[in-house]
Structure formats: structure tokens, C-alpha cells
Amino acid sequence: MKKPPATTPVTRRGLARFKGEKASELVPQARLSGPMPWVIAIMIALTVIAAGGGLALNNLAGAARAELAGGATVQIMEADPSERARQAAATVDVLVDIDGVASVRLVPEEELDALLEPWLGVGADNEAVPVPALIDVRMSGPVTEERLDRLKVVLADAAPAARIDAQASWLGPVFEAITSLQWLAIGLVVLLALTSAAAVWLAARSALGSNSETIEIVHLLGGTDSQIARIFQRSIAVDAAVGGAVGLALGLAAIMVMGDRFAALGSGMVAGGGLGWIDWVLIVAIPLVGVLLAMLTARITVLAALRRML
């Protein structure tokens, strides 16, 4: 009989780290073949879309508010065109001299016609349907009731047919609607984030459950708790990162498509609803948080399982 092979004593090497490619092979990687990355991908995509929508809505409301806060509109409600033109000119003359008025613009007739065209039809006769003259007033700082009253007093003499309104006041109901939409978006993002966190947590736990045998074997062969936790953390992080990347891509694609659709509406209001760089940073952070959460779950679960062993 042949002599048995020589063996090398390993015990003097101390508790070296077990890491790298060979260590990660201990855990079969599910990647896209398992359910975990897909569950994570879908939850991350939904969270990204809700967050993108919420942030866009927030910017839209903020931009519209800032723009409208300092605005007032003067309408000259006068049927006679020449008298209307006179009062409009007088209004502009009076307003430019008032403190706190940043700019005054008489909206040209063509622009008014264009605005009204959808309602009155092309080439509608101005004489037939009297249209008030519009004067757009921009004030420095928000338009308060007092400032508005002061303008009214001044205008009463110059243009008796003038009626002045703060732009924000017309849009009060719109703002209320937007505010409740914002709350809805915040609620959705919070719910989706919680569900995503739960999905990541459950996926990480189930991935570990199917590897509990391996955990025990490496433990019995002298693997330290942190060695074993690191192996699983890494493996789960890879799965979560794959899922997170796919989810982010899906979510971003949806945001882009929605953005294009809204931009195509050409409405001045939606132009304020774009996403700033800080919004993009927040959105990209969503999958990163997912990966961190998955790693944390893996670590906690593995260490808890190991602590039940001697």
C-alpha cells in the first residue's frame, strides 16, 4: 500500500481572514435567476417613480408659487376699444411710478387673441366679444392685501374700469390641490420605502435560510463569526445591487417618459416641474440605501444564527 500523502499543519497560522473569490463561492449567487433581485428591482423601481413624481410635484408647486406670489393682474373691463386702450395706457403710466412695482407689461392684443382662440375661434371679432385689456404687474416681494388695496386706490382715478387681482389668489384652489397631491406622494414614497425595506429584509433572510447548512459547516471548521458574516453580506450585497440597478433603470426610464409627456404639453406651469441635481442625488440614493439595508440584514441574521451555535 502506498504511503499516505503528506499534510500541512495549518493551526499555527492563526485566525487569518477568509475572503475573496474562493470565500464568495461558498454562497451560490442567485443573481437574476432567483426571485430576490427581481423583488428588489420592482420595489426600487416603484419607490424611484414615486419619489421622482413627488419631487417633481414639489418643484412645480414651489416654482409656481414663487412666480405667482409677486404677480398681480389688472383687467380693464371696458367695452369701448379706444377708451379701453386709453385707460390701459394710463394704468401702465401710473403703475411704473409706484414703489415696489418691479415691472409692468401690457399684454399685446395678439397674445390675448392667441390665449382666447381656443374659446372664441380664429379671427373672432374683438368688437363682437369685448375682451378686457390685461396688464401683468410684477411686484418685488409677495402681493399682500394691503399692497393690493393701495394699488386699487391709485388706479381708481386713472382707470375707473380697472380691476386688480393678485395672481396667487386665483390659483388658491390649484395650490390646495397640489399640496394634497404632495402629501399623497410623500405618503406613497414612505409606504413604498417601507415595503421595499421589508422585501429586502425578507429576501436576505430567505437567501440565508437556504444556506444555513453552509453557515454551520464553516462555523464548525473554525470560521469566525465575522468571516462568515462578511461572506454572506458580500453575496447579498451583490444580489441587492443587481436588483437595485435594474430597479433604478426601470424607475428612471419611467420618469424620463413621464417628463417627456409633460414637456410635450408645453404648459408654462409644468416647465417648473423638472428635477434638480439634488433630486437626482436623492433618487440614486434609493437603491444604495437598499443595498446597505440588505447587507445589514445579512449581517444581523448571520450573527444571530451563529450566536445560537456554540
Q: Which residues bind another protein (CB under 8 A)?
A: 1-11, 13-18, 22-23, 25-26, 28, 213-214, 216-218, 220-225, 227, 307, 309-310
CB of 8 to another protein, least distance (A): 6
Closer to another protein by Cβ: residue 13 or 97? 13
> Residue holding cell 373691463?
77
Q: Tell me the residue type at 248.
A: L
CB of 29 to another protein, least distance (A): 10
CB of 10 to another protein, least distance (A): 4
CB of 275 to another protein, least distance (A): 44
CB of 9 to another protein, least distance (A): 4
Distance CA 206, CA 23 (A): 20
Closer to another protein by Cβ: residue 59 or 214? 214
Closer to another protein by Cβ: residue 67 or 216? 216
Q: CB neighbours (10 Å) of residue 249? A: 15
Contacts with 148 (C-beta within 8 Å, 6 or more apart), sequence order: 72, 164, 165, 166
Closer to another protein by Cβ: residue 157 or 213? 213
Closer to another protein by Cβ: residue 13 or 145? 13
CB of 295 to another protein, least distance (A): 22
Closer to another protein by Cβ: residue 84 or 230? 230
